[in-house]
Amino acid sequence: MSLIVDHISYIYDKDSGLPTVGLKDVSLSIPDGQFIGVIGHTGSGKSTLMQHLNGLIKATEGSIYFNGEDIYDKGYDLKKLRSKVGLVFQYPEHQLFAETVFADVCYGPGNLGLDKKDCELRAYDALRKVGFPEELIFTSPFDLSGGQKRRVAIAGVLAMKPEILILDEPTAGLDPKGRDEILGMIKELQQKEKMTIILVSHSMDDVAEYVDRIVVMNHGSIFLDNSPQVVFSHYKELEEIGLSAPQVTYIMHALSEQGFPVKCDVTTIQEAADEIAACLKNN
């Protein structure tokens, strides 16, 4: 059970006078249960790559294999693929349409041809998983706050019970509290539900705390693909392509340059604090 991206390339407007390269020879293997952060600045191709993973865009070259099957094969059921590889778009609250929150979340499972009762059970379960307050599930989704709307939209994808959940900038436009809540909820989904999570972001600080692996995109190809520790150790190169490492990386490097014997490969604020405390104790 895994998703393998095999040397795909994608060109926008291939037949028109102005072809633009979207992706260039991208290969990726996504094993079960991993929490992956995909980072890149605007226009680096990260959203384009994500739309390939559930077959919304067809690569101009290369293939994608889901559970050992080529998704570009004739007769491959893309609808089923999309229920297994759930994609939550940027600003997903813009896709809400139904009269009630509950009806909106039922839309996805309904499309899978499940009967009404199954849909409702799944919708209820999904809303519970995203921590949506139960007393609001029969209100109009348009009366909710931004953070709540986003939860509903994520629940709308979760209700299809995907094995892989892709989230494109799920924290865009949220305040710090809303951001931490959403990211915490996603981490919980990975740990409790054993879901594979792909989190797209342009901010290292967003993902550093949660992910097992970071894929850095630049100009439509993969620039780095490794554990957060290794990726952040390349912080100088990251700066060259318009990204930056988390703030703690900079602090630790500055400290070590000043002669403090601290390790520089910490990724979270907690780890950094422990490291500094241990260093102070030893001296």
Partner 1 sequence: MLRDITLGQYYQTESVIHRLDPRVKLLGTILFFISLFCFKNPVGYAIAIIFLAVVIFLSKVPFLFMVRGMKAIIFLMVFTSLVNLFATKGDAVLSFWKITITRQGIIMAITIAVRISLLIIGSSIMTLTTTPNHLTDGMEKGLRFLKVIKVPVHEIAMMMSIALRFIPILLEETDKIMKAQLARGADLESGNVFKRVKAMVPILVPLFISAFRRANDLATAMEARCYHGGDGRTKMKPLKYQKRDAVAYVILAVYLLVSIFLGRLWIFDIM
Distances (CA, A) of 101 to 51, 115, 151, 217: 25, 19, 10, 35
Q: Does 199 bind partner 1 (CB under 8 A)?
A: no
- The stretch near partner 1 (CB under 8 A) out of 36-44, 96-104, 193-201, 223-231 is 96-104
Residue 54 or 267 with smaller CB distance to partner 1:
54
Dihedral sign, Cα of residue 164, residue 30, residue 36, residue 74: negative
Query: What are the distances in angstroms from CA 73 to CA 8, 57, 59, 68, 70?
Result: 15, 14, 13, 12, 6
Pick 98 or 241: Cβ nearer partner 1: 98
Size of the site for partner 1 (CB under 8 A): 28
* Separation in Å, CA 66 to CA 52, 83, 193, 260: 12, 12, 20, 48
CB of 179: closest distance to partner 1 in angstroms? 21
Task: Specify the residue, 46 or 82, whose C-beta has the smaller distance to partner 1.
Answer: 82
Footprint (CB under 8 A) of partner 1, residues 4-63? 12-13, 16-17, 51, 54, 56
| Out of 58, 142, 263, 278, the residue judged to bind partner 1 by CB under 8 A | 142
Is residue 176 a contact point for partner 1 (CB under 8 A)?
A: no
For helices 176-193 and 146-158, angle between their N-to-C axes, nearest 10 degrees = 20
For residue 37 the two structure tokens come to 């952060």
Q: Smaller CB distance to partner 1: residue 23 or 88?
A: 88
Q: Please name the residue that has the structure tokens 């979760």.
A: 158
Name the site residues for partner 1 (rule: CB under 8 A): 12-13, 16-17, 51, 54, 56, 79, 82-83, 86-89, 92, 94-98, 107-108, 111-112, 142, 156-157, 160
